[in-house]
Structure 1
Amino acid sequence: MSHDREFDVIMYGSTGYTGRLVAEYLAQNYTGDVRWAMAGRSAEKLAAVRDEIGAPADTPLIVADADDPESLADMVARAKCIATTVGPYQLYGESLLAACAAGGTDYVDLCGEPAWMRQMIDKYEAPAKESGARIVFSCGFDSIPFDLGVWFVQQAAEEELGGPASRIKGRVRGMQGTFSGGTAASLKATMAAAAKDPKIIQLLMNPFSLTPGFQGADQPLGNKVEFEADLDSWVAPFIMAAINTRNIHRSNFLLGHPYGEDFVYDEMMLTGPGENGEAMANAVAGDNSLGGDDGPKPGEGPSKEEREAGFYDVLFVAEGGDGKRVMAGVTGDKDPGYGSTSKMIAESALCLVRDVTDAPGGIYTPAAVMAAPLIERLEAKAGLTFKREG
């Protein structure tokens, strides 16, 4: 990868709801320290957003459009890393990813679309390896707290249990905030694609859809309301599990299976004990508002007050073969879909260009390419905590 690029990071999609938050974060935290630029389809809109978010008047603005491959090639040639929030990626993402893979430019996104991700791995892993581009999917709430949380608790298991845990439970203990309009749009686009192509349904159903050539142990479905006696709580299905579990198995695969080839992982929401806990679990299981017409639209999102009031708290329980276990918690200080996600993708881009410069090209998960340095950044800058418990 070229190290003499004009910019460290270009934020592509800066006029969208989430992209604007990423640009604002960079302006507030890295002006003068990082060479960064805002990119999008309209120079006029970019200038308006730059002024609204209080970015310096000389913040560079780059006009690029997914429908204009030449503009994308020009943009990626100027940057060490492109951060993109322009989704659904299966509709708008391939041309930019292809340009980065060809141009040796690092790339981070917020993708939670496993079928598209597998298609991109099959098409662009070889060109990315050749050019030195590090392509990293899922650098937001899906899937950083979960992917890095599993990696973190496995480090604890190595120390305390003498080896990796072959079984880990991810359990969401608390969360406040709405899912993004982009997440809802991605879900709808995925369902539309699956209706046309049965192969996509197979990819969506397979926990190992992102590990080409490797099929591991049977995994829990995580689709039922149950009582977990060891945690004294009812559990309900967690909507992000369908993407997070795939990324975690890919991390294990890319790292050479340090968690073991028979590693088992699932994600659920904890809703508490007793009748209230059961009622809450059933309510969570019955909620399909994200896929409905009343869900958030792309470009829409919560107010600043709502973002600031949001949080999340995830427990990871690593079980050893002898009944011993190690636990760790991951928390975030803003709403998951926007406030925290916008900080996570910005720090992921900076981690690639500043902290893991020696990693070779390829298509990665966050944990597979930058686990320890990214955790350090997220704790120092982005309001996340990673802590052992119990």
Structure 2
Amino acid sequence: MSRERPYDLILFGATGFTGRLVAEYLLKRYGADGELRWALAGRNPARLAEVRAGLGAPESLPLLQADAADAAALARLAAQTRAVITTVGPYQLHGEPLVRACAEAGTDYLDLCGEPLWMARMIPLLQPLAERSGARILFSCGFDSIPFEMGVVWLQAQAQQQLGHALGEVRAQVRVIKGTASGGTLASGMETYKAIARDRSLAGQMSNPFALTPGFRGPRQPEGSSAAFDDWEQGWTGPFVMAAINTKNVHRCNALRGHPWGQDFVYSERQWTGAGSAGEKRARRLARQTRLQNLLLALGPTRELLRRFVLAKPGEGPTAEQRERGRYEILFSGRDRAGKQLRAWVKGDRDPGYGSTSKMIAEAALCLLEEVGREQAPGGVWTPGAAMGLALSRRLQERAGLTFELGAAG
């Protein structure tokens, strides 16, 4: 690795629950005194030292102090490293000073952001800075949205090999999901609804699948808030809670790659509930639950109750046993314009919000540093799939417990 800067990677937010999991993974996989030069960073040196000791890491693992609101300290932090991973959210509250510092310093940046309104605001702000400095800015490097974006990237690559062209429509169905929703995801959702309450015009941006593709708007996309029968898979589906962010990232990936899947590409993302009347009942119940959840998040008093009694407290999260018992399976079904179909599965071996996410963001950062030159991905605001392509899916299969495999033809 290049030795132009003291560190290859700095993990910012290491004292948070997810940050500790990322640190634990990096230590187990890459060690503290190996070729990878990495450090832990956060605002409280004493707590950083506690995390380092709790991980069993040697004192040679550096600790760096910086507050998320201290622009000068973040600028110094960014200038010391080739890449930064940050787990400090909600990003719309705490993220801008660090990502701006990275964009100005030419430092690659990766986060776990699932906040499309903030991302839409950051893209035009950061793009010119990153182009000048060479920084690669990557949002959404966890369960939202790597398995979904990379599932489409991988399936489309198989279509090019087998059919000689892209699939005009891809449908993603979450078939299995076992694990706890992360407190950060819920907190981000609450902040998004607070932003919409302050500015009602943001509601349209939130529902726009092309909100992250400035200057481009594709065809009308499938409606995703109600129960629906899938005629390809002959079963029922309901809304999937993360579709609002994942869909935007998939369309941004297509746009950044020059629309290899077509400017008329159609993508939908839903949760499978099963066949027959039982599947229909589950789909309709899921749609009702989703509408109720959105209503509760839209109301200030109920948001406060959820914040106080539902959100995980700082430092809290599922146990190691619970994380290891978790898993997920996503089916991607695509058809070309002549009706030929391909199916693929993406599976993860840990709970999505914590165990799998911590591995994905770590390996995405190292894939970007080790395998993707700036001739392939120059400075700018990217998605993981657009910047790294199949190099990322290969690395995730080799090291992060994900599998990508073709399914039987539909």
* More moved, 296-305 vs 53-62: 296-305
Give the Å deviation of 1:188. 0.4
Question: Which amino acid in 1 is paired with 2:146?
Answer: I
1:279-316 C-alpha deviation (Å, 9 max, x unpaired): 32233223356956153335332111110000000011
Counterpart of 1:262 in 2: which secondary structure? coil
Note if 1:21 corresponds to 2:36. no
1:56-96 C-alpha deviation (Å, 9 max, x unpaired): 22110001101211110111111100000000000000000
Question: Which amino acid in 1 is paired with 2:310?
Answer: G
Question: Which amino acid in 1 is paired with 2:361?
Answer: I
Which residue of 2 is the match for residue 57 of structure 1?
59
Question: Which amino acid in 1 is paired with 2:246?
Answer: N
Question: Which amino acid in 2 is paired with 1:28?
Answer: K
Give the Å deviation of 1:129. 0.7
User: Following the alignment from structure 1 to structure 2, what is the Cα–Cα distance between the partners of residues 3 and 319?
Assistant: 47
Note if 1:297 corresponds to 2:297. no
Give the Å deviation of 1:3. 5.8
Which residue of 2 is the match for residue 309 of structure 1?
325
Task: Evaluate the alpha carbon distance shift between residue 57 and residue 354 of structure 1 in structure 2; reply closer, same or farther with a 3 A threshold.
Answer: same
Aligned counterpart in structure 1 of residue 354 of structure 2, from 331, 338, 345: 338
Question: Which amino acid in 2 is paired with 1:158?
Answer: Q
Counterpart of 1:198 in 2: which secondary structure? coil
Aligned counterpart in structure 2 of residue 40 of structure 1, from 39, 42, 52: 42
Question: Which amino acid in 2 is paired with 1:330?
Answer: V
Note if 1:347 corresponds to 2:363. yes
Output the TM-score relative to the length of structure 1.
0.97
Question: Which amino acid in 2 is paired with 1:305?
Answer: E
1:164-196 C-alpha deviation (Å, 9 max, x unpaired): 011100111111001110000000000001111
Aligned counterpart in structure 2 of residue 276 of structure 1, from 275, 278, 302: 278
User: Following the alignment from structure 2 to structure 1, what is the Cα–Cα distance between the partners of residues 289 and 14?
Assistant: 32
- Percent sequence identity is 51
CA contact (8 A) 2:226 2:284 kept: no
Which residue of 2 is the match for residue 8 of structure 1?
8
Question: Which amino acid in 1 is paired with 2:10?
Answer: I
Give the Å deviation of 1:357. 2.5
Counterpart of 2:389 in 1: which secondary structure? helix
Q: Which runs of 4+ in 1 moved over 4 A?
A: 288-292
Note if 1:373 corresponds to 2:388. no
1:48-127 matches, within 5 Å, as 48-127=50-129
CA contact (8 A) 1:112 1:183 kept: yes
Question: Which amino acid in 1 is paired with 2:390?
Answer: A
Which residue of 2 is the match for residue 145 of structure 1?
147
CA contact (8 A) 2:142 2:358 kept: yes
Question: Which amino acid in 2 is paired with 1:21?
Answer: L
Question: Which amino acid in 2 is paired with 1:378?
Answer: L
Unaligned regions of 5+ residues in structure 2, if any?
298-302
Question: Which amino acid in 1 is paired with 2:370?
Answer: R
1:170-181 matches, within 5 Å, as 170-181=172-183
Question: Which amino acid in 2 is paired with 1:20?
Answer: R
Counterpart of 2:337 in 1: which secondary structure? coil
Counterpart of 1:231 in 2: which secondary structure? coil
Instruction: State the number of aligned residues.
Output: 389
Question: Which amino acid in 2 is paired with 1:343?
Answer: K
CA contact (8 A) 2:167 2:335 kept: yes
Counterpart of 2:201 in 1: which secondary structure? helix
Counterpart of 1:230 in 2: which secondary structure? coil
User: Following the alignment from structure 2 to structure 1, what is the Cα–Cα distance between the partners of residues 401 and 56?
Assistant: 22
User: Following the alignment from structure 1 to structure 2, what is the Cα–Cα distance between the partners of residues 308 and 281?
Assistant: 28
What is the root-mean-square deviation in Å for CA atoms of aligned residues? 1.4
CA contact (8 A) 2:85 2:365 kept: yes
User: Following the alignment from structure 2 to structure 1, what is the Cα–Cα distance between the partners of residues 280 and 189?
Assistant: 27
CA contact (8 A) 1:160 1:326 kept: no
Question: Which amino acid in 2 is paired with 1:346?
Answer: A
CA contact (8 A) 1:15 1:49 kept: yes
Question: Which amino acid in 1 is paired with 2:257?
Answer: L
CA contact (8 A) 1:182 1:298 kept: no
Note if 1:360 corresponds to 2:378. yes
Counterpart of 2:259 in 1: which secondary structure? coil
Question: Which amino acid in 2 is paired with 1:23?
Answer: A
Give the Å deviation of 1:384. 0.2
* More moved, 196-205 vs 124-133: 196-205
User: Following the alignment from structure 1 to structure 2, what is the Cα–Cα distance between the partners of residues 102 and 114?
Assistant: 22
Counterpart of 1:287 in 2: which secondary structure? helix
Aligned counterpart in structure 2 of residue 323 of structure 1, from 336, 339, 342: 339
User: Following the alignment from structure 1 to structure 2, what is the Cα–Cα distance between the partners of residues 259 and 218?
Assistant: 16
Give the Å deviation of 1:34. 1.0
Which residue of 2 is the match for residue 30 of structure 1?
30
CA contact (8 A) 1:329 1:387 kept: yes
User: Following the alignment from structure 1 to structure 2, what is the Cα–Cα distance between the partners of residues 208 and 319?
Assistant: 21
